[in-house]
Amino acid sequence: MTDTQIHRLNRELPPLLGPEDPPAAELVNGDGRAPLLIVCDHAARTAPKALGDMGVPAEAWEEHIAWDIGAAAVTRRMAELLDAPAILCGYSRLVIDCNRQPGHPGSVPPVSDTWPVPANQNLTQAHLDRRLDEIFHPYHRAITNTLAHLWQRDPERAPVIFAVHSFTPCMKSGQPRPWHAGILWNKDPRIATPMIDHLRRAHPDLVIGDNEPYDGREIAYTTETHAAAAGLAHASVEVRQDLIADAAGAAAWAAHLADALGAVLRQEPRVHLVEHY
């Protein structure tokens, strides 16, 4: 198909999102004063009404393939505790994963953790572009714009980015994961290293992973794109889902993380400098 044909098809396709669909990005505590942006790429298990259930059984929408259980609640509470703005993605990773490079095999998965996703199979480039144009890019523009506002408001302190995720208690093989939470990072240690140390000292009964259960050098599109490229300090957290699946657990972990991250922001002035690693 030629570029001209693709552009014509793009014009002919109806919009993916309708007036009853939520926005691609939700801004929480937009007036927060901290030079910090908290992001949640997998906050929702929502699909556009035009896609229905995407051919995925109802029980699968309750599982990790659709969203990061508990992550949105932790993000909202952290934003409140730290007086920081937060951006939450409005759509399920089954529609498009906003923490994956567009075109990546996991960006719009035809199969997710053995569950077939019929609505993601045999898509044309025009249909993929609809998801990029109406969900992926607006979500990332919201992050870019909020960071810009934070930095313009306080030019002497570069903003920090912190991403919130959750993970399943067991591997696909059924092997339990021993960590209660893990801090993920790539090359920039300014947030991750002192935060891990703080959490381990404050909660010696908890198992806090360093780049566990995932490797921050492999899965970090959002923080790498918005923070690492600009020299902004950043890190991500993965919290075990069963610990934050209810309101009490989410509130407790938000408090743990806000205490640790707040201490880093107060005690480590380098986190507000532009540094490339």
* pLDDT value, residue 36: 98
Per-residue pLDDT of the chain (277 residues; tens, 9 = 90+): 444 444 554 556 889 999 999 999 999 999 999 999 999 999 999 999 999 999 999 999 999 999 999 999 999 999 999 999 999 999 999 999 999 999 999 999 999 988 899 999 999 999 999 999 999 999 999 999 999 999 999 999 999 999 999 999 986 656 889 999 999 999 999 999 999 999 999 999 999 999 999 888 888 999 999 999 999 999 999 999 999 999 999 999 999 999 999 999 999 999 999 999 9
Q: Provide the residue ranges of all domains of the chain, joining segments of one domain with +.
A: 3-272
| Contact yes or no for 87/23 (Cβ under 8 A) | no
Buried b (16+ CB within 10 A) or exposed e, 109-141: beebeebbbebbeeeeebbbbbbbebbbbbbbe
* pLDDT value, residue 6: 44
pLDDT digits (tens, 9 = 90+) for 232-256: 999 999 999 999 999 999 999 999 9
What does the alpha-carbon distance between residue 168 and residue 175 come to, in Å, rounded to a whole number? 11
Q: 3-272 in CATH: which number?
A: 3.40.630.40
φ, ψ (nearest 5 deg) of residue 214: -120, 165
* pLDDT value, residue 109: 93
Strands 115-116 and 208-210: unpaired
CA–CA distance from 122 to each of 51, 94, 111, 142, 223 (Å)? 14, 15, 12, 30, 30
pLDDT digits (tens, 9 = 90+) for 6-62: 455 455 688 999 999 999 999 999 999 999 999 999 999 999 999 999 999 999 999
The residue behind tokens 């490079």 is 101
Residues forming beta bridges with residue 238, ordered by sequence position: 165, 182
* pLDDT value, residue 216: 85
